[in-house]
Amino acid sequence: MFEPKTILAATDLTRRSAAVPARAAEIARAHDARLVLVHVLEPAKTGVARLRLGRKDDRLRRAQSEMGTLRAQFPDIEITCRVVEGNPAKVIPELADKHGADLIVLGLHLPRRVLETLRLSNLERITQATRCPVLIAHNDTAVPYRRALGAITFAPASARALRVAARLAPEAELHAIHALQMPFAAKRTSADLMKTPEMTKAELLRDAFMALDGRPEHLHLPEIVPGGVHEVLQFRIGELQPDLVVIGSHSGRDPENLGNYARDLMRAPPTDMLVAKPG
């Protein structure tokens, strides 16, 4: 059973990470967990950048001061602050492994130029490099989750993501939706849609999914909705207004890599977002 006893929360000390400390603290408080709060100082690559950012010693002192201020906001929680120089995509997974983190909490993705979107972002690299679940904190308020929505494929990664969500949000409604990609011909026969071989197969997969050991007891029966995953999820988000979206990270071709949809959603999450690998 997933039990977050050590939480690693990474902040870049900007508005993109403003929701990270409070959300990580809320989870730590609920699970009596210790919290490791991390800030990674990225080395300036050019003379101009170094001039703009200031001397390394000054940046280190400012970061340590800001981290101390954040820690003081949560006196009831055991918090270790770390300020480390390096590449966040490398440092954060290493620290998560060193501290035995059960959960990593990150802030929002840094917007990039069009050509740079072809490369993995630091957020994506961290998620891909670690075995533990990753929570992207986006919501302004860190109250307990009230409604979670999982975009699932009936695969092991989806099952684990829902189990983790159930532990992080034990009082929340837990919904799930499966986007069923239909052949073009099948899309034109709406009257008989429920009788198609594709729908029958999906329903059998759902039955097997619901019979898995460890399935959250309060999980609503997953919906099977014909359509692309983007359109189906966005429509259901509009209806349900969840404060947590849950996905499995796996790619259909490689369970260790992020799928394209996971990457797209991580770059612009509509709300807090939980990403989990199989395991």
- Round to whole Å and give the CA distance between 180 and 125: 28
- What does the pLDDT average to over 30-46? 89
Strand partners, 258: 250
Strand extents, DSSP E, 122-222: 134-136, 147-151, 173-180
Confidence of residue 275 (pLDDT cuts 50, 70, 90): very high
Min mean pLDDT across 105-119, 236-250, 255-269 is at: 105-119
Model pLDDT for residues 84-105, shown as the tens digit of each residue: 999 999 999 999 999 999 999 9
CATH for 144-279 is 3.40.50.620
Q: Which CATH number fits domain 1-138: 1.20.140.10, 2.40.50.140, 3.40.50.2300, 3.40.50.620?
A: 3.40.50.620
- What does the pLDDT average to over 237-259? 77
Token pair recorded at residue 235? 């429509």
Decide which of 31 and 265 is more confident: 31
Query: Using DSSP, how many helices (H) and how many strands (E) does the chain show?
Result: 10, 10
> What is the reported pLDDT for 115?
40
Strand extents, DSSP E, the chain: 6-10, 34-41, 79-85, 103-106, 134-136, 147-151, 173-180, 223-226, 244-248, 272-276
> What is the reported pLDDT for 109?
67
Model pLDDT for residues 138-159, shown as the tens digit of each residue: 999 999 999 999 999 898 888 8
Pairing of strands 103-106, 134-136: parallel
Average pLDDT across the chain, whole number: 86
Whether pLDDT at 49 is above 70: no
Whether pLDDT at 114 is above 50: no
* pTM for the full predicted model: 0.88
1-138 matches 144-279 in fold: yes
Q: Which helix (H) or strand (E) holds 197?
A: helix 197-210
Model pLDDT for residues 178-216, shown as the tens digit of each residue: 999 877 655 555 656 777 888 899 999 999 999 998 889
What does the buried/exposed string (b/e) look like for 128-137 if buried means 16 or more CB atoms within 10 Å of the residue's CB?
bebebbbbbb
Is the separation of the CB atoms in 177 and 223 below 8 Å? Answer: yes
Is the separation of the CB atoms in 162 and 213 below 8 Å? Answer: no
Decide which of 174 and 118 is more confident: 174
- Indicate the residue type of 186: A
Domain ranges in the chain?
1-138, 144-279
> What is the reported pLDDT for 248?
82
Report CA torsion sign: 44, 45, 47, 52. Answer: negative
